[in-house]
């Protein structure tokens, strides 16, 4: 909560500065598209896919005819599923009956699904081309282009996940004896059926790099419609602290999230519509160039 308050105070200070300028816009928006996790390093037999959507209100204060600062608040959701067909890994110096071994673990058909609702607070720099107009707006230019870049802070709420494993296979190599043991159930060696589980993560914060571009259409004297595409990229892995590696059959009884890569970044690509009302003060010519 403290982080939310600090960020809101920072946004409000920017609003105070931009509101003193000659031109600003109030808007409502809605958008959605494709969402996925990007694995680093890339796992060849892993995949990720899902969807995202959000809607809210915005404010843009212009500091010149071309440049403005955009912020707002919105609510959204994403639903993303990860799959790993076959994931092998080695645990060195694993103790079995008092002897050190290299434990070779293979997890088959692992799946996880992430579902969350979030509060979205953007802070972006907006560039737009000049919309030259005659005295009558109906006779002037009807479309211009814009681009926005900055950051979005997503406050994650009601975060649920499910995880599922089809099977786990353990075999141990003993360097001291140059020998393998592939079946010893009492010590967790052999093939074991998996499990599925549902859990809930604590509320967290996801910072994202954001970029958006498209067309700005004049549909009224002070009414505009933005149509654009956007790309968001997570700046950190917010699920990392919840992940672990499974090496024993006992761990399959209480699944969390599998640690199968060093880093996971959320990637979102979508389309957005934004309807804005221009509240131009008297004497301003920010968007009107005769």
Assigned domain for 153 exists: yes
C-alpha radius of gyration, the chain, whole number: 26
Assigned domain for 290 exists: no
pLDDT tens profile 154-211: 999 999 999 999 999 999 999 988 999 999 999 999 999 999 999 999 888 999 999 9
* pLDDT beyond 80 at 131: no
Give the N- to C-terminal CA distance of the chain in Å, as an integer: 48
What range does the domain containing 129 cover? Answer: 2-83+114-161+204-246+255-278
pLDDT tens profile 253-272: 989 999 999 999 999 999 99
Assigned domain for 37 exists: yes
User: Could you give the residue ranges of the DSSP H alpha helices within the chain?
Assistant: 2-19
Closest CA to 71 of 54, 61, 59: 59
Assigned domain for 289 exists: no
pLDDT tens profile 2-40: 555 555 555 555 555 555 556 789 999 999 999 999 999
Q: Into how many domains does the chain fold?
A: 1
Report the CATH number that the domain containing residue 118 is assigned in CATH. Answer: 2.40.160.20
């Amino acid at each position: 909560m403290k982080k939310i308050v600090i960020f809101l105070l920072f946004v409000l200070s920017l609003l105070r500065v931009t509101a003193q300028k000659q031109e600003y816009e109030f808007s409502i928006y809605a958008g959605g598209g494709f969402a996925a996790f990007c694995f680093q390093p890339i796992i060849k037999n892993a995949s990720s896919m899902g969807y995202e959507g959000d809607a809210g209100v915005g404010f843009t204060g212009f500091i010149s005819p071309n440049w403005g600062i955009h912020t707002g608040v919105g609510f959204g959701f994403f639903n993303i599923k990860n799959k790993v067909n076959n994931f092998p890994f080695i645990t060195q110096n694993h103790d079995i009956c008092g002897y050190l071994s290299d434990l070779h673990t293979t997890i088959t058909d692992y799946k996880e699904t992430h579902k969350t609702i979030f509060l979205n607070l953007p802070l972006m720099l907006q560039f737009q081309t000049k919309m030259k107009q005659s005295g009558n707006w109906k006779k002037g230019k009807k479309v211009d282009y814009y681009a926005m870049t900055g950051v979005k802070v997503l406050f994650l709420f009601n975060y649920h996940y499910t995880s599922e494993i089809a099977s786990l296979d353990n075999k141990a190599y003993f360097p001291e004896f140059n020998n393998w043991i592939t079946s010893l159930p009492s010590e967790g060696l052999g093939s074991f059926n998996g499990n599925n589980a549902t859990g809930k993560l604590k509320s967290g914060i996801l910072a994202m790099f954001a970029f958006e571009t498209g067309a700005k259409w004049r549909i009224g004297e002070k009414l505009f419609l933005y149509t654009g595409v956007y790309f968001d990229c997570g700046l950190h892995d917010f699920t990392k602290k919840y992940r672990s590696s499974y090496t024993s059959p006992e761990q399959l009884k209480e699944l969390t999230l599998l640690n199968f890569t060093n880093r996971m970044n959320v990637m979102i690509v979508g389309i957005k519509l934004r309807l804005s009302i221009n509240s131009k003060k008297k004497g301003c010519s920010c968007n009107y160039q005769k």
